[in-house]
């Protein structure tokens, strides 16, 4: 395996998917292909595995395509948003798959790219769209949205205590000149936060950048649609693994999994409970191992959940 990128929670992800991928010609949808790290490892481990890789970022697909080219026709790559996973599969003539993997959020390539604007740590135009051919950029949001709208975004998606103060500072600053770079925004956030708070808890811009990224890419609504859609394409004994990186994502996954794995009958109804179609493979969300965290700091915040289909 090439070491250009260390996939998060690789060992546990593979362990969870393995029972589903050991059949004759298993199919896996990697709904967040990124740089193809998880997929590369799985293709090496399972000699007859075919992967349908999806990403909304064309440059990720290009890079992963080059990295995975040695697997030839065992890999099919599609540019799409993952809530269209069923349609993407159907277009490839696929009805059911043995595995689905979601590794949510941004890739290290997106964070490190000097022209994408995801990171507050280096200067770049304020874009933050994973698909640069569609949608509204962070620049448009910070330069045109009202104080109320900006406050809501920062509070809801960044869980930012000082949302209203940051929104007010953004509006003040843009009356002088439009905000166009990551460093300008990061400085505005820093100035909006009380000095005592600035000294603790890492870079104060982290939550604002996270909030804008989630909003610009409509990440939570898309995820909410995607999980049930992906569960629908799982074959019996097929498994799905989701790696989330913050509580809002994990809550969506937890609820969607709980809904399909519960066999509770509404209280008072005179019917026998039917066995649920899905079974949870992880009781609560799991974290990465200490060893993994020491090798790959990105795995520190990961929450792992997995589920298996038991019946049609």
Ligand X SMILES: C[S@@+](CC[C@H](N)C(=O)[O-])C[C@H]1O[C@@H](n2cnc3c(N)ncnc32)[C@H](O)[C@@H]1O
Which residues in this chain contact ligand X in the complex, by CB under 6 A? 5, 7, 32, 34-38, 54-57, 60, 81-82, 103, 105-107, 130, 222
C-beta closer to ligand X: residue 37 or 117: 37
Instruction: Name the residue nearer to ligand X (CB basis): 26 or 37.
Output: 37
Among the listed residues 131, 100, 87, the one whose alpha carbon sits nearest the alpha carbon of residue 243:
100
Question: Please, what sign has the CA dihedral across residues 150, 153, 156, 158?
Answer: negative
Which CB atom, from 106 or from 240, has the smaller least distance to ligand X? 106
Minimum Å gap between C-beta 158 and ligand X is 17
In the bound state with ligand X, the residue whose beta carbon lies nearer, of 121 and 218, is 218
Nearer to ligand X, 37 or 204 (CB): 37
- Identify the CA nearest to 55 among candidates 73, 76, 36, 78: 78
Can you state the angle between helices 219-232 and 206-216, rounded to 10 degrees? 60
Q: Considering beta carbons, is residue 162 or 215 the nearer one to ligand X?
A: 215
CA separation for the pair 120, 190 (Å, rounded)? 11
Task: Specify the DSSP class assigned to residue 203.
Answer: -
Residue 262 CA to residue 6 CA, distance in Å, equals 35
Tokens of 292: 């993994």
The interaxial angle of helices 182-192 and 163-176, nearest 10 deg, is 130
Tell me the three state secondary structure of residue 79.
Answer: strand
Alpha helices in 18-70 (DSSP H): 37-45, 58-67
């Amino acid at each position: 395996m090439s070491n250009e990128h260390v996939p998060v929670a690789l060992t546990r992800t593979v362990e969870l998917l393995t029972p589903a991928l050991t059949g004759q010609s298993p199919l896996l949808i990697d709904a967040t292909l990124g740089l193809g790290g998880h997929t590369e490892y799985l293709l090496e481990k399972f000699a007859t595995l075919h992967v349908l890789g999806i990403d909304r970022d064309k440059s990720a697909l290009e890079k992963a395509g080059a990295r995975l080219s040695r697997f030839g026709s065992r890999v099919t790559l599609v540019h799409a948003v993952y809530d269209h996973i069923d349609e993407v599969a159907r277009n490839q003539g696929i009805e059911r798959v043995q595995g689905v993997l979601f590794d949510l959020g941004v890739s290290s390539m997106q964070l490190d790219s000097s022209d994408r604007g995801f990171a507050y740590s280096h200067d770049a135009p304020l874009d933050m769209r994973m698909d640069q051919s569609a949608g509204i950029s962070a620049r448009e949001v910070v330069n045109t949205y009202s104080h109320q709208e900006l406050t809501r975004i920062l509070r809801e998606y960044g869980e930012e205590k000082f949302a209203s103060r940051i929104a007010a500072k953004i509006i003040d600053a843009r009356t002088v000149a439009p905000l166009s770079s990551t460093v300008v925004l990061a400085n505005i956030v820093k100035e909006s936060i009380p000095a005592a708070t600035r000294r603790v808890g890492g870079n104060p811009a982290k939550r604002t950048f996270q909030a804008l990224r989630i909003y610009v890419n409509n990440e939570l609504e898309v995820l909410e649609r995607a999980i049930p859609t992906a569960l629908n394409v799982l074959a019996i004994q097929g498994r799905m693994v989701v790696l989330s990186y913050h509580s809002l994502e994990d809550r969506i996954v937890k609820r969607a999994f709980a809904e399909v794995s519960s066999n509770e009958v509404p209280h008072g109804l005179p019917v026998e409970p039917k066995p649920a179609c899905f079974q949870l493979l992880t009781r609560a969300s799991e974290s990465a191992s200490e060893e993994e965290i020491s090798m790959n700091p990105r795995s520190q915040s990961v929450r792992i959940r997995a589920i298996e289909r038991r019946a049609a």
